[in-house]
């Protein structure tokens, strides 16, 4: 899956500006990858949930004002120039930061470093000669999904290791297959993507036979610190939080909901879990996203977004989300622990409402 011509042009603009501000090749490519993760390198895109706009989804008043002074948030150069300084300052303070960490901390979207570094395998390794400061240039030789992972540049601080690049290509290939299965591409596009997938996998070394992890294995849990953005224990919707509402009590009481016209298990057999707005929300079970999806209502106790998770033996209802994760929509199949979206608030209280059709709702 190669970048389109317009995506190549946007990637070239970002890369050029980043290099003109003193960033090295690896860091400039990280900025391109971060933009791809947030906007698909589309300068006009607007996040319907948050209202953020542009190549880098600018939302805070500081970034928006800065971009508007330079030409507007949908202007590729203005959008990039509004935020590139913060990236440069981050890497100056954290010269050994791993790929994606700068975007995680600068963008403050709630996404982990892996979300922002994953597109590195897609956008390619080289962008041609660096043009004069401030000039936009198309991407030269942008690699598609089928491109062989480039050799590791040991001279660049923070450059990807070969193993990391290979892992990213596998992830992108798997995402392509998921999108094809969900019918998101035309037959012609699907055939091309399958070909890219096969080429990418063939370009990678054969995996070794799995062996039981030992304490000396670097991937053994005791030698592998947890990712701060990792999902919580299986079956839990959030990693941390405080239960502030319980089934059939308060706003979950039967009488209260009958009076309000919402006498159902989704409203009553539920827990409210207090978490900051933007907290990652996870699937509590394998299942499929159901038809109860999208806006919950007009505000108050019906504020935010909702979704319905249908498992093999039970169903769950999430409410008051602020944003859905990419790819989450009715009919999407998910696994326990998969990111579904981010928490929001209702009635001025930041929390997640989660209900269970059978049994006690998860906490």
Read off the pLDDT of residues 216-266 as tens digits, 9 standing for 90 and up.
444 333 343 333 344 444 578 988 888 888 999 888 888 887 887 778 999
The gap from C-alpha 233 to its chain's centroid, in whole angstroms, comes to 20
Decide if 361 is inside a domain: no
pLDDT mean across residues, the chain? 76
Contact 229, 114 (CB under 8 A): yes
Number of residues that make up the chain:
363
pLDDT on residue 64: 87
Is residue 73 located within the same domain as residue 151? yes
255 and 158 in a common domain: no
Residues 312 and 184 placed together within one structural domain of the fold: no
Does residue 80 surpass a pLDDT of 90? yes
Mean pLDDT over residues 348-354, rounded?
Answer: 91
Q: Single out the residue in 173, 202, 231 at which a domain terminates.
A: 202
Residues 160 and 83 in one domain: yes
pTM for this structure? 0.39
- Residues 343 and 249 reside in one and the same domain: yes
- If one counts the domains in the chain, the total is 2
Least confident of 57-66, 190-199, 322-331, 341-350: 190-199
Q: Which domain holds residue 67?
A: 5-202
| pLDDT given at position 58 | 87
Band of the pLDDT at 287, cuts 50, 70, 90?
Answer: very high
- Residues 151 and 262 grouped into a single domain: no
- Compute the distance between CA of residue 252 and CA of residue 268 in angstroms, rounded to an integer: 4
Same domain, yes or no: 246 and 195: no
Residue 233 maps to a domain: no
Residues 46 and 120 in one domain: yes
102 and 198 share a domain? yes
Question: Are residues 149 and 247 part of one domain?
Answer: no
Q: Is residue 299 part of a domain?
A: yes
The count of other CB atoms within 10 Å of the CB of residue 241 is 20
Q: Using an 8 Å Cβ cutoff, are 59 and 38 in contact? A: no
Instruction: Look at strands 333-334 and 294-295 and give their pairing.
Output: unpaired
What's the pLDDT tens digit per position in 305-336? 999 999 999 999 999 999 999 999 999 999 98
Q: Give the confidence band of 1 by pLDDT, cuts at 50, 70, 90.
A: low
The answer to which of 4-13, 49-58, 138-147 has the lowest mean pLDDT is: 138-147
**20 and 141 co-located in one domain:** yes
Q: How far apart are CA 109 and CA 130, in angstroms?
A: 30
Q: Show which of 180, 202, 224 is a domain's final residue.
A: 202
27 in any annotated domain: yes
101 confidence band (pLDDT: 50, 70, 90): very high
Q: Per the domain annotation, does 223 fall within a domain?
A: no
Query: Could you tell me if residue 234 is inside a domain?
Result: no
What is the CATH classification number for the domain harbouring 336?
A: 2.70.70.10
The answer to whether the CB of 286 falls within 8 A of the CB of 329 is: no
* Residue 189 within a domain: yes
Dihedral sign (CA 9, 11, 14, 17): negative
- Whose tokens are 């500006």? That residue is 17
Of 33-42, 87-96, 203-212, 255-264, least confident by mean pLDDT is 203-212
Q: What is the pLDDT of residues 114-161, one digit of tens each?
A: 888 888 877 765 453 333 333 333 333 233 333 333 333 334 333 444
Of the pLDDT bands very low, low, confident and very high (cuts 50, 70, 90), residue 297 is confident
Q: Is the pLDDT of residue 212 over 50?
A: no
pLDDT digits (tens, 9 = 90+) for 13-51: 898 899 988 999 889 999 999 998 888 888 888 877 777
Domain shared by 32 and 165, yes or no: yes
Domain boundary among 171, 187, 202: 202
Between residues 218 and 186, the one the model is more confident about: 186
Looking at the chain, the whole-number percentage of residues with pLDDT higher than 70 is: 69
How many Å apart are CA 26 and CA 19, to the nearest integer? 10
In a domain, 279, yes or no: yes
């Amino acid at each position: 899956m190669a970048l389109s011509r317009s995506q190549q042009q946007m990637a070239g603009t970002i890369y050029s500006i980043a290099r003109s501000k003193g960033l090295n090749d690896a860091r400039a490519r990280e900025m391109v990858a971060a933009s791809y993760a947030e906007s698909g390198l589309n300068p006009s895109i607007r996040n319907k949930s948050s209202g953020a706009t542009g190549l880098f989804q600018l939302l805070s008043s500081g970034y928006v004002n800065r971009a508007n002074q330079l030409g507007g948030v949908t202007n590729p150069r203005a959008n990039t120039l509004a935020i590139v300084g913060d990236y440069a300052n981050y890497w100056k303070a954290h010269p050994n930061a791993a790929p994606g960490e700068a975007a995680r901390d600068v963008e403050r979207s709630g996404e982990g470093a892996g979300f922002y570094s994953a597109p590195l395998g897609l956008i390619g390794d080289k962008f041609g000669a660096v043009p004069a400061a401030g000039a936009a240039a198309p991407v030269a030789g942008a690699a598609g999904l089928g491109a062989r992972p480039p050799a590791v540049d040991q001279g660049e601080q923070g450059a990807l290791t070969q193993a990391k690049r290979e892992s990213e290509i596998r992830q992108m290939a798997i995402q392509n297959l998921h999108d094809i299965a969900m019918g998101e591409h035309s037959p012609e596009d699907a055939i091309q993507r399958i070909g890219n997938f096969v080429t990418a996998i063939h370009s990678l070394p054969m995996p070794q036979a799995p062996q039981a992890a030992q304490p000396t294995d670097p991937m053994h849990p005791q030698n592998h610190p947890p990712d701060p953005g990792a999902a919580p224990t299986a079956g839990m919707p959030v990693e941390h939080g405080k239960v502030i509402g319980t089934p059939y009590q308060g706003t979950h009481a039967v009488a209260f909901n009958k009076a309000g016209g919402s006498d159902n298990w989704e409203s009553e057999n539920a827990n409210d879990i207090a978490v900051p707005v933007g907290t990652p929300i996870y699937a509590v079970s394998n299942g499929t996203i159901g038809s109860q999806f999208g806006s919950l209502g007009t505000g108050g106790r019906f504020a935010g977004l909702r979704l319905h998770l249908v498992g093999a033996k039970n169903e769950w209802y999430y409410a008051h989300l602020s944003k859905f994760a990419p790819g989450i929509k009715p009919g999407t199949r998910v696994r326990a622990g998969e990111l579904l979206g981010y928490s929001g608030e209702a009635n001025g209280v930041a929390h997640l409402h989660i209900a269970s059709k059978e049994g006690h709702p998860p906490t």
